[in-house]
Amino acid sequence: MKTLDVVYVLGTGSSWDNNEIRFSVRSVLKNLTGIGRIFIVGEKPSGLKGFVHIEHPDEFPSTNADGNIIRKILRACQDPRLTDQFLFMNDDHIIMKPIRAEKIPPFHKGDMKTFPENYWELNDWRKRLLNTKLALEAQNFPTLHYDCHAPIIFDKREFPLAMARFDYASGIGLTMKSLYGNIHYPKAPCLVEQKRTVFKYFSLVELEERFTGPMLLSFNDQGLNDSLKIFLYQKFRLPSALETKPIGDKTIEIYMACRESTDYQVALDTYLKYFKNQNLKDMFLADTHRRFSNKIKFLLEQKLIGL
């Protein structure tokens, strides 16, 4: 059985103070076996330690986001410490079920030749995917859609060779997973129920129903709302050994104060930190006999209604 290192690439665009990678790493360390080091290439996230950091800037404009990711992975492939095969993860990938890293298959979402013409018109990313389809066709490779927001195993010797076949640096670029997958995984399984996404609002109840079975969860900024934050915290409460500071998220701290803690001081400190009513703050601070304990808990609880 092989041991695989895990490689993340990070830019500077975290909308959640890099708590995305905090929870992704928690899920990796809880549910993945057969892993070695964790590499982070690009931005160095605060609040984490014990990982291999490789500094690397974004070389292309944001319109060619995949080109920046490719260059960072190419840099990781040059590191002699990295295992020959490694698992590439994004910070918005969550491992929901126990699995050995080498058993994660390279999923695809069907043959791009069957996609309707209007599919390519939505945004620049789909135009980049169309460019990838055309580039693969030009070299007589299959055209399966591997860019389905899921982890994938790369080989550090083969990845540079695969990327060198294509001009991913020009214009809006090309999508790397479909380039690599169609060269090295032409018979991979089609993604069906193994992964689900959170690309819009779901309540906590809806999230529980949505993720009773899938092995993988992925999300984007539109899906990263308070319900998802609480859901991730519920599933991965325990800090990993890589963490050096608390989460620092308002919704999660309120949840912890009114749903998990019986400590009056925790509830009071949370109210003082996040609520604005100065009259109530003064009243609670003057309450040496803790007569308003239930009132504080009630006000905290109100912030969680509707999640």
Q: Indicate whether 47 and 195 sit together in one domain.
A: yes
Q: Indicate whether 185 and 286 sit together in one domain.
A: no
Domain membership flag for residue 243: no
Domain membership flag for residue 28: yes
Q: Indicate whether 284 and 148 sit together in one domain.
A: no
Domain membership flag for residue 139: yes
Residue 116 sits in a domain whose CATH number is: 3.90.550.10
Q: Indicate whether 30 and 79 sit together in one domain.
A: yes
Q: Indicate whether 23 and 157 sit together in one domain.
A: yes
Residue 227 DSSP class: H
Domain membership flag for residue 266: yes
Q: Indicate whether 260 and 120 sit together in one domain.
A: no
Strands (E), 149-301: 152-155, 195-198, 216-219
Q: Indicate whether 258 and 203 sit together in one domain.
A: no
- In this structure, are residues 76 and 156 in contact, taking their beta carbons and an 8 Å threshold? yes
Domain limits at 80? 4-235
The burial of 32, by beta-carbon neighbours within 10 Å (0-12 exposed, 13-18 middle, 19 or more buried), is given as buried
Domain membership flag for residue 240: no
In the three-class reduction of DSSP (H, G, I as helix; E, B as strand; rest coil), residue 290 is classed as coil
Show which of 180, 206, 235 is a domain's final residue.
Answer: 235
Distance between CA atoms of residues 120 and 141, nearest Å: 20
Rounded to 10°, the helix 226-235/19-31 angle is: 30
Q: Indicate whether 254 and 230 sit together in one domain.
A: no
Q: Indicate whether 257 and 214 sit together in one domain.
A: no
Half-sphere exposure of 275 (CA within 13 A, CB side): 23
Per-residue pLDDT of the chain (307 residues; tens, 9 = 90+): 799 999 999 998 788 999 999 999 999 999 999 999 999 999 999 899 999 999 999 999 999 999 999 999 999 999 999 999 999 999 999 999 999 999 999 999 999 999 999 999 888 999 999 999 999 999 999 999 999 999 999 999 999 999 999 999 999 999 999 999 999 998 888 888 899 999 999 999 999 999 999 999 999 999 999 999 999 999 999 999 999 999 999 999 999 999 999 999 999 999 999 999 999 999 999 988 899 999 999 999 999 988 8
Domain membership flag for residue 258: yes
Show which of 178, 201, 235 is a domain's final residue.
Answer: 235
Domain membership flag for residue 245: no
- In this structure, are residues 191 and 105 in contact, taking their beta carbons and an 8 Å threshold? no
Q: How many domains does the chain have?
A: 2
Distance between CA atoms of residues 70 and 74, nearest Å: 6
| Predicted model pTM | 0.94
Q: Indicate whether 75 and 192 sit together in one domain.
A: yes
Q: Indicate whether 44 and 144 sit together in one domain.
A: yes
**Number of neighbours of residue 91 by Cβ within 10 angstroms:** 21
